[in-house]
Structure 1
Amino acid sequence: MSRQSLAVLKGVGPKTIQALQHLGITTIEDLLTAFPFRYDDYRPQNLAELVDQEKVTLRGVVVTAPVLVRFGRKKNRLNFNLLIDNQAVLVTFFNQGYLAEKVIEGAELTVFGKWEAARQRLMGIKLLSFNKQEQLAGVYRSSKEIRATQLQKLVKQAYELYHGQISDLIPGKLQKKYHLLSRQQMIHDLHFPADQLTAQAAKRTAVYEELFLFEARLQYLKQIDQQPNGLKLNYDNQQLKKFISQLPFELTPAQKRTVNEICHDLHRPVHMNRLLQGDVGSGKTIVAAIAMYAAVTAGYQAALMAPTEILARQHADKLFHLFQPLGINVNLLTGTTSAKSRQRRELLQQLAKGSIDILIGTHALIQNGVEFKNLGLVITDEQHRFGVNQRQALRLKGNEPDVLALTATPIPRTLALTVYGEMDVSIINELPRGRKPVRTFWLKKNQLKRAFSFIAEQLKQGKQAYLVTPLVSESEALDLQNAEQLLTDAAKFFAPEYQVGLIHGKMKSDEKEQIMTDFTAGKTKILVATTVIEVGVDVPQASVILIVDADRFGLAQLHQLRGRVGRSSTQSYCLLLADPKTDYGRQRLQTMTETTDGFVIAQRDLELRGQGDILGRKQAGLPEFKVADPIKDLKVLETAQVDAAEIINQSNFGKTTETKPLDEYLQQQLQLELGFD
């Protein structure tokens, strides 16, 4: 039933299928689990029960002839009076003049609409036929291409045809333990509830099922990864200790702990799938470098994939200087390396022969033709920037290589269960010794010159500065205009003593590279930038960042941007320039001035925004739940995780009638995720 095409339904042709696909509905299963987000109550109410501005249903006798008033092009108003509880109530419909022929004096009518208490008026939404009385009606998410009423009819048709094929996915013992409905009953009662209590009971089951199935999928993936078919990297422990001892700084206790956790995984014959989570500037890169060195001493190659070319080049430069004295060959492959160039051909030949030990790159690493001789370790930086398929494609470049994902996006516990549930997590929860927290100040927009004066004082001390403008995704032209205006203002204030540069996303790669080279070398003292510098850019001499229109950034993004400074032992500063118009905007800026702890900020962001966009739209990897909310339903989520782990880890999982449907469902989901239909 789950993979059955929508084309089997009456009235569903190519256009309707396309419209449903835009709503994320591609199969009968999708349609039956596209639940209403609220219900309209079509049961008639008494006037004494009505609440102002709420939607209500009223039934009465028409006591005046309908009056249709036309005004403007295609605009009209229909008025009539209903007698309800011996009281006349005015009913008004806008732009539904065609209803006039159904409004007959002396006839009984049922009307659904919004109640206006001050005028004792019902703003009509629809006239109800008798079969809609005494029931709730689900309200569905719709689009311009497909109306909610059409969706409702398709759901009804699909349920009538396929309800007999709906299997329970939650094992019976858990259904009994939590007094849950069967899956068939749950789907029926969410779409066609008899009353509010019925709908609530069905939603309770649906919330648990959705969170349980999600956690079961993560446990299933984790179990597959932990099969003893991974690589066992027999690295040279003495060489590794010597390498760490010769670093120009001592690792923090947190870095030492995470290195031990990763090396323990590398040495096991079980596939590693580990997340290294640490705040901006906490030193994740050196931990990743130690892991790569371990892989190389074991005779394997390592690959690191970064989300932007700027970050990939920066990683390549750092690792080249770190490993060159040890005779380790580090190379870089990006999308700008021409597919037909001699340089690329030679690089790919060396990679296939095994003479390149470590390859750094962007998504170019997963293109066809990029073949490793013996890939043992795959690292993705800012892993939430890559989709599941991209991460999987890099992993498939080797024979079950170990996987290490890096992220500087702190995630509170309330979301860690949903974002990284299938991974083992290592956390670097302290900054390197000598680092000082960045001091953050919030200024009004008319204080730009004051901010410039402060920056000038920093420049006199040999420091550098970032000036950042927000991106307006709807208009690249406006983005550029904002950045160029800031460049003009800065040049006017700082020139000719200090050189001001500009970098933005529309520039060619070689232009961006040259600008970053000039800034890193100190030739350019001030860099005006869009959020292209958000992730990973590391210039220790940069001690101040000014963020213009800071209220247009999310908290997580502001924290990432602030992380571009404070990367040395000198005191650094973040200046937020904004006049927020909302409480939400003011709270975000206030939070930034109060703490530099990324985990505190992430939790605050979660409280302010809810789960919807905590890591950035679509890039986050955060699942879109249909009925559950992992913030409000955290206790259910934690219970579901424990239950899922217990069920999936049973030795007879999938072999009993109770667990077979769940096993088949999870196998199907895994195939879909990896692109197999």
Structure 2
Amino acid sequence: MNLNDLKNVSIKELKGVGDKNAALFARLGIESVYDLILYFPRTYKKMPPLFKVNELREGELCAVRLTVDDDFYFKKTANNAVTTVSGYDATGKVSMTFFRVTYLRNLLKKGSEWVFLGVVKRKGRHYAFEMPEIHKISEYIESLKNLQPVYPLTKGINSKTISKYVNSSIEHYSPFKDSLNANIIKEFDFPTLSRALADIHFPVDSEDYVKARNRLAFEEFYEFFIELNEIKKAYNRLKSNYVFIETAEYARFKTQIPFELTKGQNDALNDILGDLCSGYVMNRLVQGDVGCGKTIIAFLSCVLCASNGYQSAFMAPTEVLAAQHFTKFKELNERYSLNLNIAFLSGSTTAAQRKDILSGLSDGSINLVVGTHALIEDNIEFEDLALVITDEQHRFGVLQRETLNEKGNAPHVLSLSATPIPRTLASVYYTGLQVSVIKDKPSNRIPIKTGLRSAEDRLDGLRFLYTKVKAGQQAIIVCPMIEENEDTNLSNVTDYAKFLKDLMPKDVRIGILHGRMKNNEKNRVMQYFANGDIDILVSTTVIEVGIDVPNATVILIENAERFGLATLHQLRGRVGRGKLESFCILINGSGKEEENERLNVMLESDDGFYIADEDLRLRGPGDLTGVRQSGDVRFKIADIYRDRDLFFKAKEFADALY
């Protein structure tokens, strides 16, 4: 079977997945069997062997096979439900307590046998468990043969449930057709696709895991480079239908800008001007650090396009960021009397406004449209689209960008990115693309002060944060998780917001933001924050791109050790957007000294390119974890830092096809 065919098979078609489980899976972004099979574990655990009661060790995670005794007790109150029961084997007895679990009476019947897994405690003369896991004996014995997957979770579903459905899906639908040719598989001694998918979820040992992960990571890179080569092939010295000249209006506006452009900005502008006037289609990336001034470069390009009589489209990754760009562009247009008719198009545009905008794009009266993915909808037509600009280009899929490009007759393409990539990787990543790099920053930018603290010093950081909020400024707190996870003690947005509401004065307005919220809800929260209606925003890394709030002056990042340095640098860039002094507080939740060494790079430099190079140098080969740290949304499992050798090899084999 072709794995891609499972995109059309609903998760509900799996036996046992009803509406309730389907809703829980949907919260994890799993709607099809394809999504489920490619929902990779974030780490793994080895199940402990079975002990007898007299072999249990206090304070350790142990598994024991017990027969249920006849002392089952259940009591329900308004706020809780408590179950106590004991079990025994030939060597002793264990008492167990469960909270808020109401179905155990029918499960733990007298004389039934189960495996109980938990941290051993002492209760009088007997050992005790609180909230132990309950396993069927046969299933637990089977689980001892493999490392057990630990998945990113949401409340109401656990790793055991996910692994059960993953296992049944792979068994039912495999074997899968291999997308890599036999020569590649032989060259690298890769497992088959079916074997790799089984082993990435249920590896027998670390060797199986590494082989499976390498195969899947290589495949992602390989497919990416094939797509990239197709795009390069299409644009390679393609004659342009839109040949620009440097107009008087463009030159006038450039001299009137009320600040001096940096050398990097001027160099990028000259590169773009050269492309647009060359007679060939431009496909250029402007890569610059956070706050280096890429947006004004994009707007100048739109001014040049309009003054040549053509249309341009500017696509941003979020509605709030697109709206902020639109507002800035309108202000500049009016202040300098530019010949632009600018429109804003997003998913929340009203039907009446949308009708007028579509008409203006079709007849050419609108010569610059700013928006989100709404710009790529089928019914949008342009009269003369000559320039397409995508902000944070890696946030859009290849097909999304190409769909917008196809709205014109081979328009020029300008991509913007603030995501720094190490030089050794960038030389491959961007091969064939025209790339302009802006390394310097405007002289009026105030450096962000960065501090590193342990978890024990968290309250000191929050006190400092509150002094800024009390002074009328705003703050951001970043957590790695959305909600409490039974398999980790990492900070999560849901509980942290509750903690802050108890800690802070009642007049401090606290909001939350995370990737599982619906787009309109995310946009509403970000707009509230941009408007100053939220004082402290508790968020996951979804805040990394998508909002520009000059009044936000403090960002506190919990469990900073869980993020790559490039991601931390991007997050730090969410503050320091205005004229106020700004601060970044990194909390090392692990307490490990080696993590302090890595995180200290953030204190030493605010140069994103240096930080990316150091991240590559310091990043080890990794342990048994499925977490990607590059922040690159193209890849489910591959990481351009950790898998750099595979990255180069995949490019070599993909290039050989052309």
Q: Give the TM interval when normalised to the shorter protein.
A: 0.5 to 0.7
What is the alpha-carbon distance in structure 1 between the residues aligned to residue 571 and residue 587 of structure 2? Answer: 15
Partner of 1:669: none
- Does residue 638 of structure 1 match 2:638? no
Q: Tell which structure's C-alpha radius of gyration is larger.
A: 1
- The offset of 1:371, in angstroms, is 3.6
Which deviations, in whole Å up to 9, do the C-alpha atoms of 1:386-408 show, x marking residues without a partner? Answer: 66676455434323322223234
- The offset of 1:317, in angstroms, is 1.6
What is the alpha-carbon distance in structure 1 between the residues aligned to residue 324 and residue 238 of structure 2? Answer: 36
Distance 1:596 1:376, change over 3 A: same
Partner of 1:358: 368
What is the alpha-carbon distance in structure 2 between the residues aligned to residue 413 and residue 273 of structure 1? Answer: 20
Distance 1:239 1:186, change over 3 A: same
- The offset of 1:529, in angstroms, is 8.2
Distance 1:641 1:417, change over 3 A: farther
Kept after mapping to 1: 8 A contact 2:477/2:558: no
What is the alpha-carbon distance in structure 1 between the residues aligned to residue 609 and residue 365 of structure 2? Answer: 41
What is the alpha-carbon distance in structure 1 between the residues aligned to residue 599 and residue 36 of structure 2? Answer: 42
Distance 1:27 1:536, change over 3 A: closer
TM alignment of 1:430-445, pairs within 5 A: 430-433=440-443, 437-438=447-448, 445=462
Distance 1:418 1:312, change over 3 A: farther
- Does residue 72 of structure 1 match 2:74? yes
TM alignment of 1:509-524, pairs within 5 A: none
Distance 1:415 1:301, change over 3 A: same
- Does residue 128 of structure 1 match 2:138? yes
Give, as a single letter, the amino acid of the residue that structure 2 aligns with 1:77: S
Pick from 507, 511, 529 the counterpart of residue 485 of structure 1.
507
- Does residue 196 of structure 1 match 2:205? yes
What is the alpha-carbon distance in structure 2 between the residues aligned to residue 132 and residue 536 of structure 1? Answer: 49
- Does residue 303 of structure 1 match 2:313? yes
Pick from 140, 159, 167 the counterpart of residue 177 of structure 2.
167
Kept after mapping to 1: 8 A contact 2:200/2:212: yes
Q: Which moved more, 1:19-28 or 1:594-603?
A: 19-28
Q: Which moved more, 1:310-319 or 1:119-128?
A: 119-128
Give, as a single letter, the amino acid of the residue that structure 2 aligns with 1:72: F
Distance 1:484 1:591, change over 3 A: farther
Partner of 2:575: 562
Kept after mapping to 2: 8 A contact 1:559/1:592: no
Partner of 2:164: 149
Q: Which moved more, 1:397-406 or 1:29-38?
A: 29-38
TM alignment of 1:153-302, pairs within 5 A: 153-159=168-174, 163=175, 166-187=176-197, 196=205, 199-200=208-209, 202-203=211-212, 205-223=214-232, 225-226=234-235, 231-237=240-246, 242=251, 246-248=255-257, 251-266=261-276, 272-296=282-306, 298-302=308-312
Distance 1:561 1:117, change over 3 A: closer
Give, as a single letter, the amino acid of the residue that structure 2 aligns with 1:156: E
- The offset of 1:428, in angstroms, is 0.8
Distance 1:475 1:174, change over 3 A: closer
Pick from 563, 573, 581 the counterpart of residue 573 of structure 1.
581
What is the alpha-carbon distance in structure 2 between the residues aligned to residue 637 and residue 216 of structure 1? Answer: 9
Which deviations, in whole Å up to 9, do the C-alpha atoms of 1:75-98 show, x marking residues without a partner? Answer: 4221103xxxxxx68788886644
Give, as a single letter, the amino acid of the residue that structure 2 aligns with 1:317: E
What is the alpha-carbon distance in structure 2 between the residues aligned to residue 364 and residue 29 of structure 1? Answer: 26
What is the alpha-carbon distance in structure 2 between the residues aligned to residue 168 and residue 121 of structure 1? Answer: 50
Q: Aligned residues, how many?
A: 569
What is the alpha-carbon distance in structure 2 between the residues aligned to residue 346 and residue 10 of structure 1? Answer: 43
- The offset of 1:196, in angstroms, is 3.3
Distance 1:214 1:50, change over 3 A: farther
Kept after mapping to 2: 8 A contact 1:445/1:578: no
Kept after mapping to 1: 8 A contact 2:37/2:169: no
Kept after mapping to 2: 8 A contact 1:53/1:117: yes
Partner of 2:633: 621
What is the alpha-carbon distance in structure 1 between the residues aligned to residue 525 and residue 177 of structure 2? Answer: 54
- The offset of 1:564, in angstroms, is 1.1
Distance 1:244 1:173, change over 3 A: farther
Q: Which residues of structure 2 form unaligned runs of 5+?
A: 76-82, 98-103, 453-459, 483-492, 510-521, 561-566
What is the alpha-carbon distance in structure 2 between the residues aligned to residue 527 and residue 15 of structure 1? Answer: 38
Which deviations, in whole Å up to 9, do the C-alpha atoms of 1:612-652 show, x marking residues without a partner? Answer: 58688xxx635322xx45443333233323333333x2xxx
Kept after mapping to 2: 8 A contact 1:483/1:529: no
TM alignment of 1:447-462, pairs within 5 A: none
What is the alpha-carbon distance in structure 1 between the residues aligned to residue 536 and residue 150 of structure 2? Answer: 43
- Does residue 332 of structure 1 match 2:347? no
Which deviations, in whole Å up to 9, do the C-alpha atoms of 1:214-249 show, x marking residues without a partner? Answer: 434543553454366674431114759945873556
Which deviations, in whole Å up to 9, do the C-alpha atoms of 1:69-123 show, x marking residues without a partner? Answer: 4243554221103xxxxxx6878888664483559xxxxxxx7957969999998
- The offset of 1:508, in angstroms, is 12
What is the alpha-carbon distance in structure 1 between the residues aligned to residue 217 and residue 526 of structure 2? Answer: 49
Distance 1:611 1:156, change over 3 A: closer
TM alignment of 1:488-503, pairs within 5 A: none
What is the alpha-carbon distance in structure 1 between the residues aligned to residue 577 and residue 634 of structure 2? Answer: 25
Distance 1:583 1:640, change over 3 A: same
Give, as a single letter, the amino acid of the residue that structure 2 aligns with 1:152: N
- The offset of 1:376, in angstroms, is 0.8
DSSP 3-state at the match of 1:277: strand
Distance 1:480 1:396, change over 3 A: farther
Partner of 1:15: 18
- The offset of 1:434, in angstroms, is 6.2
TM alignment of 1:386-535, pairs within 5 A: 391=401, 394-411=404-421, 425-433=435-443, 437-438=447-448, 445-446=462-463, 466-468=473-475, 485=507
Distance 1:54 1:229, change over 3 A: farther
- Counting aligned pairs with the same residue, the percent is 24
Kept after mapping to 2: 8 A contact 1:181/1:205: no
What is the alpha-carbon distance in structure 2 between the residues aligned to residue 198 and residue 46 of structure 1? Answer: 31
DSSP 3-state at the match of 2:190: coil
Which deviations, in whole Å up to 9, do the C-alpha atoms of 1:352-390 show, x marking residues without a partner? Answer: 332443334456655676542100111133446666676
Distance 1:369 1:46, change over 3 A: closer
Give, as a single letter, the amino acid of the residue that structure 1 aligns with 2:243: N
Which deviations, in whole Å up to 9, do the C-alpha atoms of 1:504-559 show, x marking residues without a partner? Answer: 975998x999x79xxxxxxxxx99786999867597xx8xx643767699844652
Give, as a single letter, the amino acid of the residue that structure 2 aligns with 1:624: K
Distance 1:372 1:211, change over 3 A: closer
DSSP 3-state at the match of 1:561: coil
Kept after mapping to 1: 8 A contact 2:305/2:311: yes
Kept after mapping to 2: 8 A contact 1:330/1:360: no
- Does residue 547 of structure 1 match 2:562? no
What is the alpha-carbon distance in structure 1 between the residues aligned to residue 652 and residue 118 of structure 2? Answer: 45
What is the alpha-carbon distance in structure 1 between the residues aligned to residue 110 and residue 230 of structure 2? Answer: 56
What is the alpha-carbon distance in structure 2 between the residues aligned to residue 640 and residue 27 of structure 1? Answer: 28
Kept after mapping to 1: 8 A contact 2:47/2:147: yes
Distance 1:112 1:505, change over 3 A: closer
- The offset of 1:295, in angstroms, is 3.0
Kept after mapping to 2: 8 A contact 1:441/1:593: yes
What is the alpha-carbon distance in structure 1 between the residues aligned to residue 380 and residue 60 of structure 2? Answer: 61
DSSP 3-state at the match of 1:246: helix
What is the alpha-carbon distance in structure 1 between the residues aligned to residue 24 and residue 428 of structure 2? Answer: 27
Distance 1:168 1:560, change over 3 A: same
DSSP 3-state at the match of 2:178: coil
